Each structure stands twice: as structure tokens, then as C-alpha cells.
Structure 1
């Protein structure tokens, strides 16, 4: 498993070289969430807006990701959290070659019948095909929406590099990950290993 195609001698991608697509999960990411903070800080970041944040329809959410990727003028880096991860993965077969990499955080176990709301199961199960671009998955040991073992299993299927975030809950503002400076450093390292 690798998190970049390039070697140390190839030029490193910077945030300004990419269209960074922020893909929030169920009910969107609030102003304190690290996704919202990154969007405000990164000049080339934009959010994939959904018509129905509280009643997600998988086909509609996936279609919005595909639209935003198609509209991109630079290589795309996906930054997905929670149900946004499921959305991004379901979109992969329709994304063409514009995506340079994906930074995936706190994937919920959408095939687990005990997930709440149950409606989230309409996003499961995850496709298990290897991803056609470098990817990094950050998972917590005590995420209420999905076990670390589940995250490790899908990371292996996708060929994603996995980072163990320890006991970090759902890696959102509620679990104390509003600013999330560690995540920002990992994202910068991930970007630097992608080809511009």
C-alpha cells in the first residue's frame, strides 16, 4: 500500500495545484468542523453541496460529486468525511482520470444494520475495487459509526494507506477535532506525494 505514485525526486503537489473537493457526510459539516475550516483556509477548496443533507439519496449525492469533478480545471483531490467517504467511493467508476488522490476520514460501516439512522444503509455496502488513484484513510479506534477493523478491511481492498488515529471518536467537531492540526499535517504530507 502506498499513498503516492511519485518518488521523492518528482515535483510535489501543493494545495494551489489542485481542485480540493470537500465532501461532507450526513447533515453536512458545521462551521467548527475541520472540513469547513480547511475550506476557508485553502484557496482552491470548495464544498460539494447537496440538496438534501438530512435525507441523503445515494444516487443524488454521487451525481453531485461527479458534477463537481467534471467541472474541475485542475487535478482533483477528494477530501471526504463520514458518509462523504461512501459517496466518494460510489462515485469512483464515474470520475474519469481527473482525480489525483483521495483523503478519506472516518468511514461509517454502512452495511451494519445497527447504524443509525438506518437510512444510511442505503449507501452500503462499499465497493471493494482497488481505487485508481492514491488514497489515505484515517480511522479511529472508537468511532461510534464504524470499527477500526472495518476501516482496515476496506482500506486493504481499496489499496489505501491507513492511519490509526487512536481513540478519536468520529473525528469531527463533537469529538474535539474542529481545528485538527494533526490531520492538516497528514493532508499536507499526502498532497506532497501526489503528482501535480
Structure 2
């Protein structure tokens, strides 16, 4: 059976209807964004951040540049909080400083330098996010898209610039699990003692 031949006016009418339908779908999609792609079961973003919570402003180019200018965290150390407790956190190799960053793509080294152990720094961050924020990140030492998504959710929760980069401001706002060298035990809850 052959399809009937359509007149030019009918073709134009069908094209107009299709264009209106596509426009309506696009307009509706911008009002109701599709949910993010599902994350693997091994990595689930922060669950306790409400969807309708006011979102902190997105990072500007200057803020991103400043955050990226910090050195990569290439070690981890126990930062003392008091005589009994400390916080394991990412740090600069061979220094007591924790003024460093971790960002998407650190897997584990950034740049050409192969010194230090950034994989351990990333794992320390991932373990802390899992315990204190209830996520299920794979503790793999790779700062991938799931780790970045969880850091962004934590930044939103603490009303920080949402850039997905773990740096000094995120570190200071985050909740951390404490460790006691004296008793070789972990705290049962998290706090933000910094």
C-alpha cells in the first residue's frame, strides 16, 4: 500500500505542529530537569541533602582558578584537636599543612610530579565522607565523578561555593570522624572541630 501524496500546505502544517511539540517538550524539560544519571551501587551521593534546599552559588571562574592554584594533597596526617583526639585528613607531603586540594581527575596524580601518595589522601577523604555523610563511595583513591558529586552535595549542605573541589574551606566546614592515638579507637560520631 502506497502512502498518499501530501500537498505542500499539509507538509507545512505537519512541520509546524512538530515544531510546536518539540518546543513544548524543551520548555517543559527546562522547568523539570531530568534526574541525574544513576550512580553505581558502590557510590551513592549524600542522601540527607534535601532536593529543594537553597543551593549555594556556583563557583565563578576566579574562585575556580584560586582553588586550582593550591597544591594537590599528596599525603594524609592526623591533625591534633586536643591531647586525646585528632582528625585524619589530606595534607601536603612532608608538611603539617592541610592547605591543599583534591579535585576531579586526581587518579591519583595531577600533573607530571609523581611524589607523595595522593591516593591515600583521596581514600582518607572518601572514608570520612562515607562515615560522616552516609555515602557509599568506593574507597578507591580516585577523585572521580561520584566523589566530586558527594563533595558538591557537602558544599551545598554547608552553604559553600559549589565547585566540587575539596579545599581548605570545604575541609573547615566538613564534619570529621576523630581518632585517638592513645586508645587506638575511632569516635562514634562526627563533628566539625576545626
Question: TM-score under structure 1 normalisation?
Answer: 0.24
Structure of higher CA gyration radius: 2
With CA pairs under 8 Å and 6+ residues apart, which has the higher RCO, 1 or 2?
A: 1
Question: TM-score under structure 2 normalisation?
Answer: 0.24
